[in-house]
Structure 1
Amino acid sequence: MAPGEGYTIGQLSRMSGLPVKTIRFYSDAGVLPERDRTAAGYRVYGEDDLARLELVRALREMGVNLATIRTLGEQDLKQVLALHLRTVETQLTNLQRTRAVLRATLEKDDPSEADLRKLNTLGRLGAAERAALLDSFVAEVGGGNEARERWLTGLREAMVPDLPAEPTPRQLDAWLELVELMSDEDYRASLRRQSEEFWERRQREGAADLDRWRQDNETVTRIALTAVSDDIDPASPRAVPILNKIASLLAAMHKSEDGPTFRRTLARTYQDHDPRATRQWQLAAIITGSPWPHPETKAHDWIGKALQAHT
């Protein structure tokens, strides 16, 4: 900008209708980048600054924060507005949930401190906090094992599903219990200890081996679910040939040989299974309104009972 050209901050104020103090604040905050100064050190503004001020004012009236507006130099206006729309939609969803909790609380004759804690927890756990919770869960339970971490990452969204915009009291209670469970250090340590040898083998043998394991696990689940749908009692003699087929598949998956020793070890694995893991998926089903128990839960419940009866 050549000397003598442009507007002083006072002139820009009169032209834009914004107070000098506001324009100076926008300049200091980096929302209105500095272009030039006079020899005396006063800021000089141009037509581009006037147009930008109009845009900044419009965006601020819409509720767009200064940090987002500051990135206008790196993003086009459509990107900024799309980001703002997502922000507004998230805020609306959070407000709807808070409204649902308040309504449920006010329906009670005598609201308690527990109800206030629910509101407080709900207010503290937005999308960013939920993502941080899942990040730490995957990292701690994964324990540095890349194969297990990949497996857990694939389950991220299912592990702590988002609350509906209008949650029922039961869904809200399930969500709060799930968040507390997923934050529990003892539960995380318990999951990390489970099947450590199995996941170490998956780590050594790579992604292709993990894909085969997934396929074999689907086969095992399908065989057990067929037994469930055929109403075969896992403790009955009819269950034995089915259990033999499943045990043979599981032995191959564990790179072992089927026999009494393997089956005793497998039975102990089912017996030592942390019931909180089943509760975790039950809570997720309540939140999403999915049928419970899940097919996989039915299948492994049948296998565990069959092993207990016939091992």
Structure 2
Amino acid sequence: MASPRDGYTIGQLSRMSGLPVKTIRFYSDAGVLPERERTSAGYRVYGEDDLARLELVRALRDIGVDLATIRSLGERDLKQVLMLHLRTVETQLKNLQRTRAVLRATLDKGDPSEGDLRRLNTLGRLGAAERAALLDSFVAEVGGGNRAREQWLTGLREAMVPDLPAEPTSRQLDAWLELVELMADEDYRASLRRQSEEFWEKQEREGPTDLERWRDDNQVVADTVLAAIEDGVDPASPEAVPVLEKVITLLAGMHGTEDGPEHRRALARAYKEHDPRATRQWELAAIITGAPWPHPQTAAHDWIGKALRAHT
């Protein structure tokens, strides 16, 4: 028998590792086993490192690690490979749990419908990579090349299409499918791009707004209106006027403009032209995550829109 110093033939390596010659040759050709010296007759010569590598390869293949990942072991340590495989397995489990939930919901209802098949088809097509691509294209198209707006949208990206829970309900599945279709809708994207276009162009010209301050100011607006809602102030009532006046002044400051007829007309027009699909988008996200709806910010801006229509 050859010694480690002399090297092993492929047949010897096969007997020692328990793997067929054909499999070892395949691993060698695929680059899983590094290229070794050859004899003058052209036969590969293997060493102890190859025997240890084969044992590792067999263990990794038994738990489902693909050859491309195993091949990269030269660039990554074993812990990185196992962590990468764990993430892959967890993603596969999540997808299987989701599919199981759809199948159960379908069978509970009786005969499958075209809508049920659509659910399965969409869920099968939209994995993590496809979801990321959907969000990439959404941010790019709605941003329209405006860096300030793209930055704002990027900050909202993970909340826009949340992951489904491991055991989604039929309502959550339907909401997720509707949300995916809405986010891909070209007309909806164009509508969002048109909204507040003047504001975002100003941000691009004059430099981006301090986003932290913007959020703080927006919270002050929301808190002002939410206090009125809690007090039972109807947006169409005379009692709403002083609240609305305060809000209009605050919004003028946020937009860097003077309060006056032009600002008020622009504000009323913006709320009037607000695309209801934008509200629906966040409602669907809330259904998926199980968050309360309406969101306080949504309730506040709905009140402002009604008050503007009633008093301007």
TM-score range, shorter chain: over 0.9
Instruction: Encode CA deviations 1:145-186: one digit per residue, 9 max, x unaligned.
Output: 111111111111110010010000000000011011111111
**Partner of 1:52 in structure 2?**
53
SS at match of 2:109: coil
Instruction: Encode CA deviations 1:49-93: one digit per residue, 9 max, x unaligned.
Output: 110000000000100111111111111111111111111111111
Aligned-partner Cα distance in 2 for 1:185–1:208: 28
**Partner of 1:168 in structure 2?**
169
**Partner of 1:100 in structure 2?**
101
Look up the equivalent residue of 1:83 and give its one-letter code.
Answer: L
Q: How does 1:267-278 map onto structure 2 within 5 Å?
A: 267-278=268-279
Gaps of 5+ in 1: none
Structure 1, 197-206 or 170-179: larger mean CA deviation = 197-206
Structure 1, 17-26 or 273-282: larger mean CA deviation = 17-26
**Partner of 1:63 in structure 2?**
64
Aligned-partner Cα distance in 1 for 2:211–2:131: 28
Aligned-partner Cα distance in 1 for 2:102–2:137: 27
1:257, CA displacement in angstroms?
Answer: 1.6
Aligned-partner Cα distance in 2 for 1:39–1:200: 72
1:5, CA displacement in angstroms?
Answer: 2.4
**Partner of 1:230 in structure 2?**
231
Aligned-partner Cα distance in 2 for 1:108–1:307: 46
**Partner of 2:244 in structure 1?**
243
RMSD: 1.5
Aligned-partner Cα distance in 2 for 1:211–1:163: 29
1:113 aligns with 2:120: no
Look up the equivalent residue of 1:156 and give its one-letter code.
Answer: R
Cα distance, 1:85–1:209 mapped onto 2, change above 3 Å = closer
Look up the equivalent residue of 1:27 and give its one-letter code.
Answer: S
1:205, CA displacement in angstroms?
Answer: 3.1
1:82 aligns with 2:83: yes
Q: How many pairs align?
A: 309
SS at match of 1:155: helix
1:252 aligns with 2:253: yes
**Partner of 1:182 in structure 2?**
183
1:207, CA displacement in angstroms?
Answer: 4.1
Contact persistence 1:198–1:254 (CA under 8 A): yes
1:187, CA displacement in angstroms?
Answer: 0.7
Look up the equivalent residue of 1:140 and give its one-letter code.
Answer: E
Contact persistence 1:202–1:210 (CA under 8 A): no
Aligned-partner Cα distance in 2 for 1:274–1:203: 23
Q: How high is the TM-score relative to the length of structure 1? A: 0.96
Look up the equivalent residue of 1:105 and give its one-letter code.
Answer: T
Contact persistence 2:27–2:33 (CA under 8 A): yes
**Partner of 1:125 in structure 2?**
126
Structure 1, 87-96 or 283-292: larger mean CA deviation = 87-96
1:226, CA displacement in angstroms?
Answer: 1.3
Instruction: Encode CA deviations 1:274-301: one digit per residue, 9 max, x unaligned.
Output: 1110000000000000100001100100
**Partner of 2:144 in structure 1?**
143
1:72 aligns with 2:73: yes
Aligned-partner Cα distance in 2 for 1:243–1:97: 46
Aligned-partner Cα distance in 2 for 1:102–1:207: 47
**Partner of 2:160 in structure 1?**
159
1:208, CA displacement in angstroms?
Answer: 5.0
Aligned-partner Cα distance in 1 for 2:282–2:44: 61
Structure 1, 249-258 or 76-85: larger mean CA deviation = 249-258
**Partner of 2:43 in structure 1?**
42
Instruction: Encode CA deviations 1:235-265: one digit per residue, 9 max, x unaligned.
Output: 1111111111111111122222212222121
Aligned-partner Cα distance in 2 for 1:89–1:12: 35
Aligned-partner Cα distance in 1 for 2:204–2:211: 9
Aligned-partner Cα distance in 2 for 1:93–1:131: 16
Look up the equivalent residue of 1:214 and give its one-letter code.
Answer: R
Look up the equivalent residue of 2:169 and give its one-letter code.
Answer: T
Aligned-partner Cα distance in 2 for 1:257–1:183: 37
Contact persistence 2:203–2:209 (CA under 8 A): no
Look up the equivalent residue of 2:42 and give its one-letter code.
Answer: G
Gaps of 5+ in 2: none
Instruction: Give the fraction of aligned pairs with identical amino acids, expressed as a percent.
Output: 81
1:39, CA displacement in angstroms?
Answer: 2.1
Contact persistence 1:202–1:209 (CA under 8 A): no
**Partner of 2:26 in structure 1?**
25
Aligned-partner Cα distance in 2 for 1:220–1:38: 80
Instruction: Encode CA deviations 1:112-150: one digit per residue, 9 max, x unaligned.
Output: 122111101111111111111111111111111111111
Aligned-partner Cα distance in 1 for 2:89–2:295: 35
**Partner of 1:281 in structure 2?**
282
Aligned-partner Cα distance in 2 for 1:7–1:166: 52
Contact persistence 1:16–1:54 (CA under 8 A): yes
